[in-house]
Structure 1
Amino acid sequence: MPPIISARLASVLLFAPLLGLCAPADSAAPPAPTHPGEIPVESFFRPRSVRSPQLNPAGTHLALLAHDLKNDANSLAIFSLADMQVKGVRGSTDPNIGAFTWADDERLVFSIVKDNHYAWGLYAANRNDPYRVTTLNSRDVVQVLGVPRQRPDSLLIWVQRDARYDGRDNGVQEIDLRRNQRNPGDVMNVRHSIPIPRGYAGVRRWLRDRQGEIRYAAAHSKGRISLLRRDDDKWAPVAIDLALDEPLAVDTDPNILFVAHRNATGARDLMRFNTTDGSHGPVLYSDEKYDFGEGTVHYSAAEKEIIGLVYARQAPEQVWLRDEEAALQRRIDAALPPNHLNLIASRSRDGKRLIIRSSSDRHPGSLYLFDRDKLQLKELTAVAPWLPERLMAPVRLMTYKARDGLKLDGYVTLPLGHDESKPGPVIVLPHGGPWHRDVWGYDPESQFYASRGYIVFRPNYRGSTGYNDEISHRPRMEFRRMHDDVTDGVRALVAAKIADPAHLAIVGASFGGYLAVAGAAFEPGLYQCAVSYAGVFDVKTMMKDDRDNDNVFRRDWFRRELGDPEKNREKFEAMSPLHSVDKIKVPLFIAHGTEDNNADTEQSHRLVKALKKAGVPHEAMFIPGESHGLAELKHRVDYFTRVEAFLKKHL
């Protein structure tokens, strides 16, 4: 096979029209930084210039989101791969595009972010006339599921929330893509509806068969999930244990599922599962340590078989089940910079054109167009060209033992030029969730702290997703043991003379915010300060608040897994740092968005009140209009600027 041809300087020519959308309003560019500490806060946390690249099924056109820094908004840019001419979906009010997908080779559908926080509605445009936008739905939170093969002018959408009524799951609707205007009375042209199966509160996931039809639903009731199969609009339960078999995809026979099966050792096996008789096929692939049940699959061009899996091991990986694809991956890897992750971001229906996203721990990523017939690889653009790779910090995997002997992973980011013969100041940065995990790769928050001279430690404590049963599943609700795992990781850093015990801080958001304050409360003397954004500090109150929101599954599931807080008061108080404020002896920085509908802002207000009463030094920052994440760039810059000053003062 001839070598892959790499055209790595093509980005200047191919994407010059697009990059004009991403440039700052001031044409006078600041001087390039020569030291990591010179990189402004905004450079780490501004959105990437382009994201979500998607080829149309024929592989003739590329669409992606292009960020406009001046307005902090996304436009939808469409390119013809024949001449790289660019057009954009930009209505008269310059909408901020939230998410999009190709409905077919000609049409795109997309949502619009109306308040910088939530993507509402569904709109359509033709790639040849992108400024003419058709409104399909303006009132709901919608997820596009796809187009049925037998009805190419239809679109299946999941109406996850109806803004006019109670905010609950409203099932799947099949709508007509050919319409040019909305029906009178603000009603979609709905061809068919698939409601939530009777007797269930909602659906966690819909599965389509190879013809694009809704075939399965993972529906929930009282905190438990059941799998149901749909035949002729009738639902029937499937005899499957979802704790053992995680559905990945539907086989060519709609009665057969590909599943990630948990075997006797707690590892995962890729197998077929027959939903009519409950039998399993032979093992197609296995992983003893990592869980591919939350990953995605690659199909062959004819979509008759799974040829690969994409999931997180130490880093995100593409695991190929066919030798031909594995050999091609090795050739692509050899043509791109060493030590990079080279993952398929999009592919044409026939698999002959691919968009490759190449990234590393020090490089946020570049996009490449790969032509399989020509064996040609063209660089399109870097996603964050303002960040010099040479000034970014390296990331290493660290394995350590928890106090009960369980082996856990963590990731250590070392500041550029760090003298490894000497321990240094460390920021412990536990992830949120807790059902999430960190991986090797580029992380903007870690790079920001490293640029300011701090070592950053991101531990994957028990309950973190993506591992085998022993780490990810059995201990998924053991909040205090998760805290202990973070503590054990920090002590391992100190023992290895990586961390200076006199200069330790813990910083986190969401569940990471809980762990930050828990670290200050439950480990007095370990840290010099702590920072929380959008944390929860009283688990009992959190469960009470869940009774009042529309997340029925979370409410019921928490109660089933954790128990009744009224009957287990000591247990809930022991895991809640709000009840141990008197043990906190170090300064805290507490921040929260005022419109957080995930973790109630009152959690932080109550903590601040308790800190004042206990005389604990602290700073508080309540950000008007912000939600659970920091959606607006100006708020991200303000927050991290204040956190930087707080850490400089106390660490």
Structure 2
Amino acid sequence: MQNNTLSAVIVAACLACAPAALAQQSEAEELAARYGARPTVLDISLSPSGTKIAYITSDNATTEILNVVDLNGTAEPEPLLYLGEANAEMTRCDWVNDTWLVCNVVGISRVNGSIPISYSRLLSVGTDGSDPNLVTARRSSSARGVQQDGGSVLALDVEGEENRVLITRDFLEDTEIGSRLGNAEPGLGVESVDVTRNRRTTVEDPDQFATGYIADETGEVRLKIRNPRDGAGRLTGATQYWYRTPDSSRWIRFEGELADFNPVAVSAADNVAYGFQTRDGYQALYRVALDGTANSEVVLSRSDVDVDGLMRIGRQRRVVGVSYATEKREIAYLDEELEGLASRLQAALPGTPLISIADASADERTLLIVASSDVDPGMTYLLERDSNTLSPLLPLRDAVAELPMAPMRPITFPAADGTQIPGYLTLPLNVEGPMPAVVMPHGGPGSRDEWGFDWMVQFFAARGYAVLQPNFRGSAGYGEAWFGRNGFQQWEVAVGDVNDAGRWLVAEGIADPARLGVVGWSYGGYAALQSQVVDPELYQAVVAIAPVTDLELVVEEARDYTNFAVVRRFIGDGPHVEAGSPANFADRFAAPVLLFHGTEDLNVGHFQSRRMRDRLEAAEADVRYVEYEGFDHHLDHGQVRGNMLLAIDGFLGEHLAP
């Protein structure tokens, strides 16, 4: 998102700084610029014929560019679409056919000039370079409410309908009789839209509580997700899933043992829904018959980690595998031919990388492959199965592709109560311990770190720091018991594990106890700050990016939004709300603190960091605060991230120096 104070020179910064310019920079400036750069490939897709690719790149600032490459032609990228609006980002483009694409744009706007909200829009663009069309239905001037949801693509192939896609539509209540743009009954429905002429036909009437639909590979809408609201229009937190039998318009609700079944895909060929449900305390993949019997069977379950990913390929999004993360991400293929192909690719490419299939031609004979690892940011390949040829296409992060990377090693360490905590340890190349080190807890808290390339980890390793990423209790992916009541309600356990990570680094002789810091983003920033409340002497420097600092303020900030009740339930009530808020205990801080936050952050409001700064200043603690005007939670801008990395490097160098 845009920082309105950046100069034109910064906004136009190139993706990878020119070698001559880099030679004039210090090593820290060069590494910060390169690791902070936006990816070269933000999204990539393959045309139905398999002869063209479309990929989204950027100017390393606020502009995304949609390029198309004809693989049978000059193979030179042809820019089709530029998006340089403030607080907007082009995130994905799919091929409708070989001459038209439909793209998703997300952004931030303000209601009545004050309350920030997210929004999305769909655009279509032809490969002939014609002007883009707005696929999202235009809002009627007499409509009530704000059109946040601009629609999601449900199906790219609508049988017998050239140039048509199936999308969701947020129908707004319209008081004008006979209006074509509005609707007397508001809610989420489904339309079939001709992307070349914007002609639209309603396929599913709006449902005021619907929040999503899922279509099968033939373009038939088979599943509906509903999130009921209370009398004030706020979400209750309940989720309902409904399905249809073939050739029926009647919706049937998943109930009883399937009340918590979370469907994510439908196979018309097998007349089943694939989805996730808890089994023996861990999430498992099920498939459920959509013939009215709702008979279910387990596709894959484990007793150590959650099964949490569904692998789908091609225009019909065919289900071909399921994934889970132990020490590394694994894929259990449901397609034997693809399983053998992925295995051969992994063995043939250097470094035994993780292999994923990013897209496929309509006949699935041409595949887009992405290979990456902890020391490889990733390369895209074109695999032509008939000729058995693999051709490299584009690196995912050109700015760092040639830099030496430090390996990431899965480890476990003991918590104070003896529980073994999994995590990942990255040691800088050619450095002997004890060395300076940072503990880097992940965000969420409902997420986890995984083995693979991490731009922040590699920057710190390149600057000589050991990095430990703990998957503390409260992390997702390790079952219900591990997640517990979440990392806020059980902050003592989660933050205790984060601190035990630092103690383990010292006990193992990896970290110098006088040169130990903690760096976190979002919930990780919260954990970094709260670690000072628990043990002020453990870390000698604290860096928190977009952190939660006051749990009561989290709830209060949600008051103007429909998810207020959901947020309040997630944070909970009780003594932990006050005790678990680092802003309440600024007088306990012994280590210097560096804070970063964007002013358009919808995940964690920037007032959280301002409150922490004010409390620390009042306690006469050492605190510095960097605020990025106009940027959201992710600070997704090459210059901003480079600036942030350089500031962190200087801060850690100052306080963790020998």
After TM superposition, the score normalised by the length of structure 2 is: 0.83
Q: Does 1:298 align with 2:312?
A: yes
Partner Cα separation in structure 2 for residue 469 and residue 635 of structure 1? 37
- Does the 8 Å contact 2:381/2:392 carry over to 1? yes
SS in structure 1 at match of 2:538: coil
8 Å contact from structure 1 (residues 296, 311) kept in 2 = no
Post-superposition offset of 1:234: 5.0
Shift in Å, 1:210: 2.9
Deviations 1:143-193 (A, max 9, x none): 32323533444323345798x99xxx9524414225537xxxxxxx44116
Q: Provide the secondary structure at the position in 2 that maps to 1:542.
A: helix
Quick check: 1:216 aligned with 2:223? yes
Q: Does 1:605 align with 2:595?
A: no
Change (3 A) 1:621 1:240: farther
Of the three residues 39, 62, 77, the one matched with 1:86 is 77
Aligned partner (choices 174, 184, 188) of residue 191 of structure 2: 174
Give the aligned partner of residue 330 of structure 2: 317
Query: Does the alignment pair 1:615 with 2:600?
Result: no
Q: What is the deviation of 1:274?
A: 5.3
One-letter code of the match for 2:604?
A
Task: Provide the rounded CA distance (Å) in 2 between the counterparts of 1:298 and 1:388.
Answer: 28
Match of 2:9 in 1: none
Aligned to 1:155: 165
Counterpart CA distance in 1 for 2:548 and 2:316 is 48
TM-aligned CA deviation for residue 43 of structure 1:
0.4
1:229 to 239, 243, 249: 243
Where do 5+ consecutive residues of structure 2 fail to align?
A: 1-11, 110-116, 139-146, 176-185, 229-235
Q: Which has the higher contact order (CA 8 A, sep 6+)?
A: 2
Per-residue CA deviations over 1:552-573 (Å, capped at 9, x if unaligned) read 2xx222333443x4xx3x2311
Indicate how the Cα distance of structure 1 residues 160 and 287 shifts in structure 2: closer, same or farther if over 3 A, else same.
farther
Q: 1:638 to 1:581 in 2, by over 3 A?
A: same
Distance 1:234 1:559, change over 3 A: farther
Aligned pair in 2 of structure 1 residues 297, 40: CA closer, same or farther (>3 Å)? Answer: closer
Q: Using the alignment, how far apart are the partners of 2:434 and 2:171 within structure 1?
A: 51
The corresponding residue for 2:123 is: 123
Closer, same or farther: CA 316–159 of 1 in aligned 2, 3 Å: farther
Would the alpha carbon gap of residues 161 and 47 (structure 1) be closer, same or farther in structure 2, given more than 3 Å must change? Answer: farther
Q: CA deviation at 1:617?
A: 1.1
Instruction: For 1:84-483, list aligned pairs within 5 A.
Output: 84-90=75-81, 97-112=90-105, 120-127=120-127, 129-137=128-136, 141-142=149-150, 143-147=152-156, 149-150=158-159, 151-159=161-169, 170-180=187-197, 189-192=199-202, 194=204, 197-198=207-208, 200=209, 203=211, 205-221=212-228, 222-230=236-244, 235-239=251-255, 241=257, 245-252=261-268, 256-264=272-280, 266=282, 268-272=284-288, 276-281=292-297, 283-293=298-308, 295-298=309-312, 306-389=319-402, 391-419=404-432, 422-472=433-483, 475=486, 477-483=489-495
Equivalent pair of 1:522/1:580 in contact (CA under 8 Å)? no
SS at match of 1:365: strand
Preserved CA contact (<8 Å) 2:282 2:478: no
Following TM superposition, by how much is the alpha carbon of 1:638 offset from its aligned partner in structure 2, in angstroms? Answer: 2.2
Q: Which stretch of the first structure deviates more once superposed, 516-525 or 25-34?
A: 25-34
CA contact (8 A) 2:446 2:474 kept: yes
- The corresponding residue for 1:511 is 523
CA distance in 1, matches of 2:37, 2:16: 14
Residues 522 and 577 of structure 1 are in contact (CA less than 8 Å); yes or no, is this contact kept in structure 2?
no
Q: Deviations over 1:446-493 (max 9, x none)?
A: 111111111111111123222233324665652332112212222222
| Distance change (3 Å), C-alpha of 1:23 and 1:34 | closer
Once the two structures are TM-superposed, the CA of residue 301 in structure 1 deviates from its matched residue by 9.9
1:270 Cα offset (Å): 4.1
Contact 1:268 1:290 in 2 (8 A): no
Residue 55 of structure 1 and its aligned partner are, at CA, apart by 0.6
- Deviation larger for 110-119 or 539-548: 110-119
Q: Deviations over 1:396-455 (max 9, x none)?
A: 111123344443311111111122xx2221111111111111111110011111111111
SS of alignment partner, residue 363 of structure 2 = coil
Letter of the structure 2 residue corresponding to residue 101 of structure 1:
D
Amino acid at match of 2:306: D
The alpha-carbon distance between structure 1 residues 297 and 92, as it changes in their structure 2 partners (threshold 3 A), is closer
Letter in 2 for 1:206: Y
TM-aligned CA distance change 1:29 to 1:229, over 3 Å: same
Q: Please state whether the residue corresponding to 2:214 is helix, strand or coil.
A: strand
Amino acid corresponding to residue 216 of structure 1 in structure 2: L
* 1:606–1:233 CA distance, 2 compared to 1 (3 A): farther
How many angstroms does 1:374 deviate by? 0.8
Q: Is the 8 Å Cα contact of residues 437 and 516 (structure 2) preserved in structure 1?
A: yes
Contact 2:65 2:82 in 1 (8 A): no
Equivalent pair of 1:342/1:358 in contact (CA under 8 Å): yes
Structure 1 residue 256: deviation in Å?
Answer: 2.9
Cα deviation 1:535-582 (Å, max 9, x = unaligned): 1111112112211124x2xx222333443x4xx3x2311221122222
Aligned length: 604
In structure 2, relative to structure 1, the CA distance for the partners of 1:133 and 1:104 (3 Å cut) is same
Aligned-pair CA distance for 1:605:
1.6
CA 1:520 to 1:68, structure 2 compared with 1: closer, same or farther past 3 Å? same
Q: 1:517 to 1:96 in 2, by over 3 A?
A: closer
One-letter identity of the residue aligned with 1:471: W
Q: In 2, Cα distance between the equivalents of 1:29 and 1:118?
A: 40
User: 1:371-418 CA deviation, whole Å, 9 max, x = no partner?
Assistant: 111110111132223325552211111112334444331111111112
Structure 1, 477-486 or 56-65: larger mean CA deviation: 477-486
Q: How many Å separate the matches in 1 of 2:503 and 2:523?
A: 21
Name the Cα RMSD after superposition.
3.4
Report the residue type matching 1:288 in the other structure.
Answer: S
Which SS does the other structure have where 2:276 is aligned?
A: strand
Question: Distance between the aligned counterparts of 1:161 and 1:312, measured in 2?
Answer: 39
Partner residue in 1 for 2:179: none
Equivalence map 1:549-588=2 (5 Å): 549-550=561-562, 552=563, 555-563=564-572, 565=573, 568=574, 570-588=575-593
In the aligned structure 1, how far is the partner of 2:189 from the partner of 2:565? 23
Is 2:31 the counterpart of 1:40? yes
SS in 2 for 1:612: helix
Tell me which residue corresponds to 1:6.
none
Q: How many percent of aligned residue pairs carry the same amino acid?
A: 29
**Are the structure 2 counterparts of residues 361 and 427 from structure 1 closer, same or farther at C-alpha, using a change threshold of 3 Å?**
same
Q: Equivalents in 1 of 2:316, 2:635: separation in Å?
A: 42
Report the equivalent of 1:491. 503
Residues 594-644 of structure 1 deviation map (CA, whole Å, 9 limit, x = unaligned): 222221222122211111111111111122111222033222222222222
Q: 1:406 to 1:36 in 2, by over 3 A?
A: farther
**Mapped partners of 2:538, 2:291: distance in 1:** 52
**Contact persistence 2:100–2:163 (CA under 8 A):** no
Query: What SS does the corresponding residue of 1:41 show, helix, strand or coil?
Result: helix
User: 1:350 and 1:595, CA in 2 relative to 1: closer, same or farther beyond 3 A?
Assistant: same
Q: Which stretch shifts more, 374-383 or 81-90?
A: 81-90
What is the alpha-carbon distance in structure 1 between the residues aligned to residue 108 and residue 276 of structure 2? 39
Q: How high is the TM-score relative to the length of structure 1?
A: 0.84
1:98–1:119 contact (8 Å) kept in structure 2: no
The question of whether the paired residues in 2 share the 8 Å contact of 1:239 and 1:278 is answered with no
What is the CA–CA distance in structure 1 between the aligned matches of 2:622 and 2:368, rounded to whole Å?
A: 51
**AA of the residue aligned to 2:513:** P
Question: What's the counterpart of residue 184 of structure 1?
Answer: none
Question: Please, which of 60, 63, 67 is the counterpart of residue 73 of structure 1?
Answer: 63
Distance 1:393 1:544, change over 3 A: same
Going from structure 1 to structure 2, the CA distance change for 1:589 and 1:92 (only over 3 Å counts) comes to: closer
Q: Are residues 269 and 637 of structure 1, via their aligned partners in 2, closer, same or farther at CA, if it must alter by over 3 Å?
A: closer
SS state at 1:103 partner: strand
